[in-house]
Amino acid sequence: MLRFLLRRLLVAIPTLFLVVTLAFFMMRAAPGSPFDMERKLAPEVERNVMAKYGMNKPLGEQYLNYLKDAVHGDFGPSLKYKDKTVLDVLHENYAVSLKLGLSAILIAAIVGMSLGVIAALRQNKSADYLTMAIAILGVCIPTFVTAPLLVLAFASKLGWVPTAGWNNGALINMILPVTVLALPQIAIISRLTRAGMIEVLRSNYVRTARAKGLSESRIVRKHALRAAILPLVSYLGPACAGLITGSLVVERIFNLPGLGKFFVISALQRDYTVVMGMVIFYAALILILNLVADLLYAVLDPRVRLA
C-alpha cells in the first residue's frame, strides 16, 4: 500500500509540473496584458508596473521564479485585484463552488443509486426502461441546455424558484443549480449501479444467501449492494472533473460567486497569476481525488492488491 502511494505521488508530481509549465507559457503567449486598460498607461508607468511584478525579466527566468515560489506555496499576487494574493482570491471564492459540488454529488449518489437498484431489481420491466431512458437523457443533454430550460420552466414561467443569484446559499436558490449539476451524475451513477447490481445478483454468494432463506431485502441491502456499488468508487475522480466543468456553466448561468465563474473572467482579463493558481488547484484536486478513489477501492475490495 505504501509503495503504491509513493509511486502514485511520484507520477502526480510530473503531472502537476506539466500543468504549471503548459499553463504558464500559454498564458504568456496570449496577446494583451493584464495592464491593458481603457486609458493607455504611460510607458514609464508601465515599465514600473512590469518591474514590480517581475515581468520585465526574460520569460525563462520568470518561469523559474514562478516554479520556485509555487513549490513554497506562494502563487503570487493577483494582477487585477490590488492587494490580494492568488490564495486570497481562491479562498474567497471556493466556498460557493464547494457547497454546490458537494450537494450535487451527494444528491446524485442517493438518487442515482436508488434508481440503479430499482432498475436492476426490475430488470427488463417498465421501471427499468423508464430509469434507463432518464439515464440516457441525462448523459446526452449537456448542462448548458438543461440549465436554461429548467430556469425557463421553473423560475420564469412557474415562479417556484428564483432565476439566479446566490443569496448566501439559501436553499431555494440552490435547488436549480444543484439539480442541473447533479443530473448528468445521476444518469451515470444509476447506469453503473444497475450494471453492478445485475452482475452481483447473478453471483454465487447471492445464490447462497437466497438458499439460506434470507429475505430479499436483506440480500439486497447486506450482500448485493455493497459489492455492486464498488465500481462507483473509481468513478469519484471523473465525477469531480465533470462537476468542475459543470460548475463553469452553472455558476455563469445562475450568476453564482464561485471559482468557475471567476476562472473564465480571469482568463479573459489576462490575470495570469490567478488563472495559473486555479489551474493548479483544479489539477491537484483531480489528482488527489483519483488517488483517494484508488486507495478507497483497495480498502473496500480485498481482491484488489495494490503494488
Partner 1 sequence: MTATTMIPGSPERAELLKNAVKGRSLWDDARRRLFRNKAAVASMIILGLLVVLAIIGPSLAPFHYDQIRKNDVWMPPLTGGHLLGTDSLGRDLLARLLMGLGVSMAIGVVATLVSLVIGVAWGSIAGFIGGRTDEIMMRIVDTLYSLPFIFFVILLMVTFGRNILLIFVAIGAVEWLTMSRIVRGQTLSLKQKEFVEAARAAGVSQGAIIFRHIVPNLLGVVVVYVTLTIPAVIIAESFLSFLGLGVQPPMASLGTLISAGAQDMELAPWLLIFPSIVMIVTLMCFNFIGDGLRDAIDPKDR
Map residues 216-255 to x or -, x wherever contact with partner 1 holds by CB under 8 A. -------------------------x--xx--xx--xx--
Map residues 116-145 to x or -, x wherever contact with partner 1 holds by CB under 8 A. --------------------xx-xxxx-xx
- Asked if 18 is part of the footprint of partner 1 (rule: CB under 8 A), the reply reads yes
166 or 282, CB closer to partner 1? 282
**How far is Cα 267 from Cα 288, in angstroms, rounded to an integer?**
24
Map residues 141-180 to x or -, x wherever contact with partner 1 holds by CB under 8 A. xx-xx-xxx-xx---x------------------------
- In whole angstroms, how far apart are CA 6 and each of 3, 18, 306? 5, 19, 11
155 or 214, CB closer to partner 1? 155
Q: Grid coordinates representing 111?
A: 438518487
- Asked if 62 is part of the footprint of partner 1 (rule: CB under 8 A), the reply reads no
Backbone angles phi, psi at 55, to 5 degrees: -90, 5
Choices 91-99, 119-127, 170-178, 260-268 (CB under 8 A): range interacting with partner 1:
260-268
Choices 66-74, 115-123, 202-210, 261-269 (CB under 8 A): range interacting with partner 1:
261-269
Site size for partner 1 (CB under 8 A) = 47
114 or 203, CB closer to partner 1? 203
Q: Shortest approach of partner 1 to residue 269 CB, angstroms?
A: 10
142 or 169, CB closer to partner 1? 142
- Nearest C-alpha neighbor of 115 from the set 236, 232, 243, 208: 232
Q: Shortest approach of partner 1 to residue 35 CB, angstroms?
A: 16
- Asked if 13 is part of the footprint of partner 1 (rule: CB under 8 A), the reply reads no
Written in H, E and C, the secondary structure of the chain is: CHHHHHHHHHHHHHHHHHHHHHHHHHHHHCCCCCCCCCCCCCHHHHHHHHHHCCCCCCHHHHHHHHHHHHHCCCCCECCCCCCCEHHHHHHHHHHHHHHHHHHHHHHHHHHHHHHHHHHHHCCCCHHHHHHHHHHHHHHHCCHHHHHHHHHHHHHHHCCCCCCCCCHHHCHHHHHHHHHHHHHHHHHHHHHHHHHHHHHHHCCHHHHHHHHHCCCHHHHHHHHHHHHHCHHHHCCHHHHHHHHHHHHHHHHHHCCCCCHHHHHHHHHHCCCHHHHHHHHHHHHHHHHHHHHHHHHHHHHHCCCCCCC
- Asked if 26 is part of the footprint of partner 1 (rule: CB under 8 A), the reply reads yes
76 or 246, CB closer to partner 1? 246
11 or 110, CB closer to partner 1? 11
- Asked if 263 is part of the footprint of partner 1 (rule: CB under 8 A), the reply reads yes
Q: Contact residues for partner 1 (CB under 8 A)?
A: 11-12, 14-15, 18-19, 22-23, 26-27, 29-31, 136-137, 139-142, 144-145, 147-149, 151-152, 156, 241, 244-245, 248-249, 252-253, 263-264, 267-268, 270, 275, 278-279, 282-283, 286-287, 290
